[in-house]
Chains A and B, each alone.
Chain A
């Protein structure tokens, strides 16, 4: 490989590796700091009680889970915070038990300052596949700019990894020529 070509390949590979690494680092930091989750479980889309649905997955009709209702800033364990449509969700909340569900009283009921959950999940079906459907993600709305950030990061990482791989093969001297589509072999 010529010296200049190799130099360009090194620069290309290092530049795109740095871009890819910084994007991956940014995403990892957003995950660790809880920003991804906070953007995701951002606003209440319905009226009800914000909860952390992971804390009462083991509840059953025979051994229901009891959630303490209060205006907590952060949900710790089995707690629930009343929310109206459009309210910002408290930290660590990941779903809403809707008022309609409490009114029906089949899966969960409101009893004074507590919510009693009897059916924390049910089996649902999507495109012919079954999955465990919990209260998680129910009644929440994500931060709109978070969605744009997701797409920008995905495309950014795809672009950086694509050029990084191209730089890597250039660096190794693997010559990938354009395919001659209209010539006989």
Chain B
């Protein structure tokens, strides 16, 4: 047990290290900060709500950097895309935070925030799930036909539409092999940053699909590039939270130490899979997070009287972290078996390398 003097909580260190590890694994694999999982977990451990958000955002900045370093080694970062997006992301985050403050003044921030979370996450889940299933079927067909499959299989037509927008300057993102107007990248940064700032999260679960489906980056590059954004937006968020006094640095430290191991595993795991596998995990994380948000919304709308709803939301969120972590571990194990020529379930070969 450790006495977190600033937060006023006595909690076991291993719990924070464990949360750091699981979220680090998931975050390193799908390119998210994992704020929607960490904040509830910290509240369950007894951290006050404001403190949970601050600790979460601060640890995301450190963990994002750990994952970024590994993704850089794997060649998953397009620096042109990442740096073009930074200013847009920061502007978007600031606008989102201001809108949230406005709704707080109106006294309806809780309901609006949860409702927006549900709509955004469910829409993203639906699109990602439909498109990824289509890509998976295509990959399975190619496997049956004995064709070589690229690392990325993507079936959406949206990127070609956005890449045709002719506004100057046009940038060449060499790693992602994308030629696109810089304003498209900046726009993606502003919109995803806005939603991230408004929802109080790092925004990875919005930015990764946006980079894949709007800009046309491959999923691996979207994950690596998004983690660079998370370092910037997380660092900015950490500064704001620290100034407000919402951060216990010892809790942050233990979580980063756990995240170091998880982020290594999650990042390296991406080299074992194809793009659709990452998008599958992303979409499952979105639907689970949506279910959690729906339960919390129902709890708020019922005047916080049905305690079971809050309890279920917490259990779902904690279960989600462990489920996703185990899913990623099994994918890597299947990939290793497949490489060795051993038997794997029929849906695996087209998803792993």
Contacts and interface: CB of A to CB of B under 8 A. Distances in A.
Interface centre among B48, B149, B296 (most CB of A within 10 A): B48
B5 to A, nearest CB: 5
Nearest to A174: B268
A137 to B, nearest CB: 6
Interface in B193-223: 200, 218, 220-221
Interface centre among B46, B249, B256, B314 (most CB of A within 10 A): B249
Interface residues of A, number: 55
A37 B310 contact: no
Contacts of A136: 8, 48
A97 to B, nearest CB: 15
A132 B47 CA distance: 9
Contacts of B67: 162
Contacts of A178: 73-75
A133 B218 CA distance: 45
Contact of B247 (A37, A150, A180): A150
A137 B299 CA distance: 27
A172 interface: no
Given A126-B43, A179-B270, A133 B304 contact: no
Interface in A131-177: 131-134, 136-137, 140-142, 144, 146-148, 150-151, 153-155, 157-159, 161-163, 165-166, 169, 176
Given A137-B245, A163-B69, A158 B150 contact: no
Given A157-B253, A176-B271, A181-B220, A131 B149 contact: no
A40 interface: yes
Interface stretch (B54-62, B123-131, B181-189, B279-287): B54-62
Given A150-B238, A176-B73, A176-B74, A131 B48 contact: yes
Nearest to B60: A154
A185 B41 CA distance: 40
B297 interface: yes
Interface string B139-164: 00000000111111000000000000
Given A127-B200, A165-B66, A184 B61 contact: no
A183 interface: yes
A155 B235 contact: yes
A140 B245 contact: yes
Nearest to A163: B69
B260 A130 contact: no
B39 interface: yes
Contact of B61 (A40, A124, A155, A163): A155
11 contacts: A124-B49, A128-B295, A128-B297, A129-B43, A129-B296, A147-B247, A151-B61, A158-B63, A162-B69, A179-B75, A185-B353
Interface of A: 24, 27, 30-31, 34, 36-37, 40-41, 53-54, 94, 124-134, 136-137, 140-142, 144, 146-148, 150-151, 153-155, 157-159, 161-163, 165-166, 169, 176, 178-185
Given A150-B238, A151-B242, A166-B73, 4 more contacts: A34-B5, A132-B48, A142-B245, A155-B235
Interface of B: 5-6, 8, 39-40, 43, 46-53, 58-59, 61-70, 73-76, 110, 113-114, 147-152, 175, 177, 200, 218, 220-221, 231, 235, 238-239, 242-245, 247, 249-250, 252-253, 256-257, 260, 263-264, 268, 270-271, 293, 295-297, 299-300, 304, 310, 313-314, 353
